[in-house]
């Protein structure tokens, strides 16, 4: 949560910072701000609202100078106000700070600073960083002491009016871009990818001093051992076009349509690596699939894949609950952690817990070089490319694709799994046509004024029902709930009234009749039945056709739901890319 972008070089900082903020807006969009060194003083502009709105009001590009920090906020500590927006300044206004994370001990630190005469202007925890740095005349030393004092998952960038800039990280993501006589610092590489693909990943416990950009002086310090580090420069492969909307009005619809190619990309993998991970799965004992949110539904679906295809039981657990279930892990255990960003705080904490038991970690992740990728024994890329919309779509089907491939590999049927995924990719390519879009738009018009939508699924597609409900909630703000169809008579049916919309996900497998029977029970009580199925049925009041994809049915069956969520958001006047109260990467606990 929150997006940081900072620049130190020879170009006009405001141009780079504003563009970077727009590329990071999916990380937070309550408020934004910028601080730039101009005429030996720090000029600051910030306000509440989306970046375009704030820029229209304040005109960031009028700010001159070639060193600056900026921030787009997703509020945690302190309400959404202009004064709580970042950057935050020291009393003498000679130090500016932007921050991502939570300072758990900020109340105690603030009390100490107030006793010393510091004047606070905001309600945020971040402001203590600026005041703590102000306590020492040596900027780098002050940043180091401050970093050691603050507790919790944090990342910050601080600069003073002399042009010194320091970066520090413990838990929240930060990367440094290396240009020609210039540095970029950001929460995520897409913020500066148009300027450089050469990056250095900042690890937990590291503090970086950005020296004279002309001489390319940069110092990495391991704060745990008080020693300098040598860091490797890496080159990222994503390009600018992948992180742009192109011809589409929103990132969400672009990323839904991207699935024409991303499922094939997920199927085209290093098969030797898949075989190696499959062997680890088969040899493991007491193993878990862990994830959060949409990735959590992919993890749940994966447990079904491994059970049916590979005759292998793997526990499924919401990552935030893992600390109550990790105790029996051993060095023979395997934890498969799934995350789009690779920066999900609950997942990383669960991985840390698993490592205390010497369990091996396999990370299924979409962002190369992310924290999860670096902390895993084996990192497996989903190859979906940058996903900007807060609501995850192509990353989800890519996660399902990778898990399906691993299940087939664990069963010794790699070729069968690859063939199925490639066939599914072609089915999705044909499926994402104008007819499906038009039918989904019409359905969205029918449902846009509803207060509740229920979703039923079974077997492989029980997780699909949960994911369908989540998509609808995230972007249209209609209350939606997914259920296993067998649970209908155990309380759920009490919610059904006349014309209550109920989506039923019907695959051509051994669960088909059970789901149809449940749908009939809902219909007999006045429910409006929407079928997502390869075949129409007289029970359905509305039908969205999907291809019959066999064991890959959760991949094709989730796509109409993604489209429905998108068109519902349009009908209801919501922003489909930036969901209310949500941020793309949940980097705080």
Per-residue pLDDT tens for 82-125?
999 999 999 999 999 999 989 999 999 999 999 999 999 999 99
Which secondary structure element, helix H or strand E, spans residue 56, and what is its range?
A: helix 51-58
Residue 201 in any domain: the answer is yes
Q: Token digits for 482?
A: 């997914």
Measured distance CA(306)–CA(405) in Å, rounded? 10
For residue 75, what is the domain's CATH number?
3.60.20.10
DSSP assignment of 297-339: HHHHHHHHHHHHHH----EEEEGGGGGGT-TT--TT-EEEEEE
582 in any annotated domain: no
Domain count, the chain: 3
State the pLDDT confidence band at 269, using cuts at 50, 70 and 90: confident
Task: Check whether residue 472 and residue 421 sit in a common domain.
Answer: no
**174 and 73 share a domain?**
yes
For residue 518, give the nearest of 505, 509, 508, 535 by alpha carbon.
505
Task: Kindly name the residue from 46, 353, 458, 584 that is annotated as catalytic.
Answer: 584
DSSP β-ladder status, 198-201 and 206-210: unpaired
Could you tell me if residue 309 is inside a domain?
Answer: yes
| Lowest-pLDDT range of 145-159, 210-224, 291-305, 463-477 | 210-224
* Given 2, 32, 502, 579, the catalytic residue: 2
Res. 553: pLDDT tops 60? yes
Last residue of one domain, picked from the residues 241, 271, 292: 241
Helices H / strands E in the chain, number of each: 17, 25
Residues 138 and 155 in one domain: yes
Domain range spanning residue 289? 251-430
Containing H/E element for 452?
Answer: strand 452-457
The predicted structure's pLDDT at residue 367: 85
C-alpha 557/C-alpha 530 separation (Å) is 13
- Reference 160, options 140, 185, 177, 182; nearest CA is 140
**What is the C-alpha separation between 363 and 375, in angstroms, rounded?**
8
- Rounded CA separation 499/153 (Å): 47
**Parallel, antiparallel or unpaired: strands 315-318 and 88-89:** unpaired
Same domain, 159 and 178: yes
User: Is 584 an annotated catalytic residue?
Assistant: yes
pLDDT at 215: 46
Instruction: Tell me which of 138-147, 184-193, 266-275 is least confident.
Output: 266-275
In the DSSP assignment, the letter for residue 541 is S
- What is the reported pTM? 0.84
User: What CATH number does the domain containing 513 carry?
Assistant: 3.40.50.10490
- On whether both 197 and 283 belong to a single domain, the answer is no
**Cα–Cα distance list, 355 to 157, 246, 379, 569 (Å):** 30, 42, 15, 41
CB contact set of 260 (below 8 Å; sequence gap of 6+):
425, 428, 429, 432
Question: Percent of the chain having pLDDT more than 70?
Answer: 97
More confident residue, 409 or 578: 409
What is the radius of gyration, based on Cα positions, of the chain? 25
Q: Are both 419 and 290 inside the same structural domain?
A: yes
* Position 241 confidence tier, pLDDT thresholds 50, 70, 90: low
Q: In what order do the strands lie in the sheet with 501-505?
A: 479-484, 452-457, 501-505, 528-533, 542-545
441 is annotated as an active-site residue? no
562 and 537, same structural domain? yes
Distance of CA 479 to the CA centre of its chain: 22
Residues 180 and 263 in one domain: no
Please say whether the beta carbons of 420 and 552 come within 8 A.
yes
Give the Cα-Cα-Cα angle 222, 34, 233 (nearest 5 degrees): 35
Residue 587 belongs to some domain of the structure? no
Q: Within this chain, do residues 412 and 521 fall inside the same structural domain, yes or no?
A: no
């Amino acid at each position: 949560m929150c997006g940081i972008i900072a620049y130190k070089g020879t170009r006009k900082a405001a141009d780079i910072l504003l563009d970077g903020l727009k590329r990071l807006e999916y990380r937070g969009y309550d408020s934004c701000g910028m601080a730039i060194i101009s005429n030996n003083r720090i000029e600051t502009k910030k306000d509440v609202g989306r970046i375009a709105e704030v820029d229209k009001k304040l005109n960031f590009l009028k700010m001159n100078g070639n060193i600056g920090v900026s921030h787009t906020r997703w509020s945690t500590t302190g309400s959404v106000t202009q004064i709580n927006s970042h950057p935050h300044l020291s009393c003498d206004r000679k130090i500016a700070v932007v921050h991502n994370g939570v300072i758990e001990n900020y109340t105690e630190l603030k009390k100490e600073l107030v006793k010393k005469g510091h004047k606070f202007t905001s309600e945020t925890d971040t402001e203590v960083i600026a005041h703590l740095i102000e306590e020492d005349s040596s900027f780098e030393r002050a940043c180091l002491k401050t970093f050691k004092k603050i507790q919790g998952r944090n990342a910050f960038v601080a600069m003073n009016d002399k042009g010194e800039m320091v970066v520090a990280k413990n838990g929240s993501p930060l990367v440094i871009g290396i240009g020609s006589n210039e540095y970029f610092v950001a929460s995520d590489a897409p913020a500066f990818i148009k300027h450089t693909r050469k990056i250095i990943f900042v690890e937990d416990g590291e503090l970086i001093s950005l020296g004279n950009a002309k001489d390319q002086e940069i110092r990495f310090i391991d704060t745990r051992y008080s020693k300098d580090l040598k860091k490797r420069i890496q080159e990222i492969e994503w390009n600018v076009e992948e992180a742009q909307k192109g011809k589409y009005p929103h990132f969400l619809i672009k990323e839904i349509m991207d699935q024409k190619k991303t499922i094939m990309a997920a199927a085209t993998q290093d098969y030797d690596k898949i075989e190696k991970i499959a062997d680890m799965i088969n040899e493991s004992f007491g193993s878990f699939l862990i994830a959060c949110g949409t990735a959590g539904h992919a993890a749940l679906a994966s447990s079904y894949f491994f059970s049916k295809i590979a005759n292998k039981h793997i526990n499924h657990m919401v990552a935030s609950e893992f600390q109550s279930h990790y105790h029996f892990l051993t060095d023979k255990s395997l934890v498969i952690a799934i995350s789009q960003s690779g920066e999900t705080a609950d997942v990383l904490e669960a991985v840390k817990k698993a490592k205390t038991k010497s369990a091996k970690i396999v990370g299924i992740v979409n962002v190369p070089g992310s924290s999860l990728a670096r902390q895993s024994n084996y990192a497996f890329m989903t190859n979906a490319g940058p996903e900007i919309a807060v609501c995850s779509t192509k990353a989800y089907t890519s996660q399902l694709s990778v898990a399906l491939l691993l299940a087939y590999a664990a069963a010794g049927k790699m070729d069968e799994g690859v063939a199925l995924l490639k066939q599914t990719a072609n089915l999705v390519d044909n499926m994402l046509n104008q007819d499906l879009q038009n039918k989904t738009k019409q359905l969205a018009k029918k449902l846009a004024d509803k207060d509740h939508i229920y979703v039923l699924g079974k077997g492989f597609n029980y997780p699909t029902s949960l994911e369908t409900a989540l998509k609808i909630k995230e972007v249209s703000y209609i209350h939606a709930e997914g259920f296993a169809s067998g649970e209908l008579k155990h309380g759920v049916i009490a919610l059904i009234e006349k014309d209550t919309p109920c989506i039923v996900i019907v695959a051509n497998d051994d669960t088909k009749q059970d789901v149809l029977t449940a749908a009939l029970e809902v219909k007999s009580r006045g429910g409006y039945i929407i079928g997502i199925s390869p075949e129409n049925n007289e029970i359905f009041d509305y039908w969205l056709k999907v291809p019959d994809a066999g064991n890959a049915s959760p991949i094709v069956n989730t796509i109409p739901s993604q489209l429905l969520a998108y068109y519902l958001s349009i009908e209801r006047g919501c922003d489909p890319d930036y969901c209310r109260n949500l941020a793309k990467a949940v980097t705080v606990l």
